[in-house]
């Protein structure tokens, strides 16, 4: 991944908001849409752009597309995501998105398509078992 591709992806507020949300784990397009208060078409367009440039990974679960940060990001991407995390703490919109995700997370896990609900419960229980 080239550094210029990373910066091209980071120059849009919606894409920054999406990356910020995905730092907390994978999310369906429908969840990102609800948190951002944006239309599905707009969110999907930005996710496709991020995916094409290697900043997000995706898996299909039945009819749903579930996005996450890459399992093994490049050194440049990791460094920029760390910097992004520090910078986002200064901007209120990113804090609101994160707070909204925290508020909605339990509802997402209980009422979501099977892709999100099962995955969240499995990873929570495996973390508890590993402790």
| 108 assigned to some structural domain | no
| 125 assigned to some structural domain | no
| 115 assigned to some structural domain | no
Count of domains in the chain? 1
pLDDT tens for 75-119 read 888 888 888 888 777 888 988 998 999 888 877 776 665 555 444
Mean pLDDT in residue range 56-61: 92
| 99 assigned to some structural domain | yes
Contacts 24+ apart (CB under 8 A), 110-116: 112/28, 112/30, 112/31, 113/28, 113/30, 113/61, 113/62, 113/63, 113/64, 114/61, 114/62, 115/28, 115/59, 115/61, 115/62, 115/64, 115/66, 116/26, 116/27, 116/28, 116/31, 116/64, 116/66
CA atoms within 13 A on the CB side of 86: 5
The enclosing domain of 91 has a CATH number of 1.10.10.10
pTM over 0.85: no
Quick one: pLDDT at residue 113? 58
Distances (CA, A) of 82 to 30, 85, 86, 120: 26, 5, 7, 24
Tallying the residues shown for the chain, one arrives at: 131
């Amino acid at each position: 991944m080239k550094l210029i591709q990373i910066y091209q992806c980071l120059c849009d507020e919606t894409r920054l908001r999406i990356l910020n949300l995905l730092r907390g784990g994978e999310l369906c397009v429908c969840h990102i849409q609800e948190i951002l208060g944006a239309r599905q078409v707009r969110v999907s367009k930005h996710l496709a752009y991020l995916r094409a440039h290697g900043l997000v990974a995706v898996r299909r679960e039945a009819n749903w597309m579930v996005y996450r940060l890459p399992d093994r990001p490049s050194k440049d991407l990791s460094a920029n995501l760390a910097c992004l995390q520090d910078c986002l703490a200064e901007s209120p919109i990113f804090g609101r998105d994160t707070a909204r995700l925290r508020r909605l997370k339990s509802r997402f896990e209980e009422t979501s398509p099977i892709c999100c609900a099962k995955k969240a419960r499995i990873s929570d229980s495996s973390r508890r078992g590993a402790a």
